[in-house]
Amino acid sequence: MIQGINKLNIFETDKEKHIYLKYLNEEKQKQDIKILAYVIMDNHIHLLIYDEKEENISKWMQIVNTKYAKFYNKEHDRVGYVYRDRFKSKPISDRTYLYNVLAYIHFNPIEAGISKELNQYSFSSYNDYVYHRKSKEEIILLFENEDYQPLFHFIHEKYYKKMLLKSNESPENILKNYLQGKTVKEIKRDKELTAKIVVDIKEKCNLREYQIAKILTIGKNRIHQLKREGFIKED
């Protein structure tokens, strides 16, 4: 992942995104890097890449980012740093994580609210897979099989369902499900029901107790009291 300095936009136009993509592809041939997936957003980039030698990746990134920084500074008549920091990277150790990263990269524009459909965003590798523009070598590396389309679409459908589930599990939606014609005041008078809501929100939304208390408009001491009385089991 590469991010603009101070999280500012460093790819403000389609032209700038095309230029960065051009540099990526030019230099990958020289370093024999495999770009398995990418997305270029306005202020950051995500890349899923493969190389036998880790040092090649660092060299490749340094060359690409230096070339683009020079172009960007000249284009905007500015000097100084363009990137927030050196690129950040994580190794991928299993295929489940690999496929989650693949979908995460492609869903970036949708999660950012700048695109409604995966195939509508021009600066990601999603359409490269849909329209068979990836090399056989890259496909085998990622899917272990040339007949990748069914698995590719399954991975993205699964991630989409996960996104929907996540959006439905907001604290507000959980509370709404418990209301069922009752008022919040009525619920708060029912200790057992209040305890269930606290536990549900905590488990599904990974919130702290003080955050849950604020959402339910109850004091933190009320949650402690429910614990003391056995309505909520201690972690």
Q: What is the pLDDT of residues 90-134, one digit of tens each?
A: 899 899 999 999 999 999 999 888 998 999 999 999 999 999 999
Q: Residue 220: pLDDT band by 50, 70, 90 thresholds?
A: confident
* Final residue before a domain boundary, out of 167, 182, 208: 167
Percent of the chain, pLDDT > 90?
A: 48
- Is the model more confident about 21 or about 29? 21
Would you say residue 31 has pLDDT above 70?
A: yes
Say how many C-beta atoms besides its own lie within 10 A of residue 45's C-beta: 26
* Range among 1-5, 10-14, 60-64, 148-152 with highest mean pLDDT value: 148-152
* Final residue before a domain boundary, out of 167, 185, 220: 167
72 and 137 assigned to the same domain: yes
This prediction has a pTM of: 0.70
What pLDDT sits at residue 29? Answer: 83
What range does the domain containing 73 cover?
A: 2-167
CA distance between the termini of the chain: 35
* β-bridge partners, 49: 35
Is the alpha carbon torsion for 113, 34, 74, 7 positive or negative? positive
144 in Cβ contact with 92 (< 8 Å) = no
Q: Residue 54: pLDDT band by 50, 70, 90 thresholds?
A: confident
CATH code (residue 71):
3.30.70.1290
Please compute the mean of the pLDDT values over residues 32-44 and round it to a whole number: 93
Number of domains in the chain: 2
- The amino acid sitting at 20 is Y
109 and 222 assigned to the same domain: no
Would you say residue 235 has pLDDT above 70?
A: no
Give start and end residues of each alpha helix (H) in the chain.
14-31, 54-75, 95-111, 126-130, 136-143, 149-168, 171-179, 184-189, 191-205, 209-215, 220-228
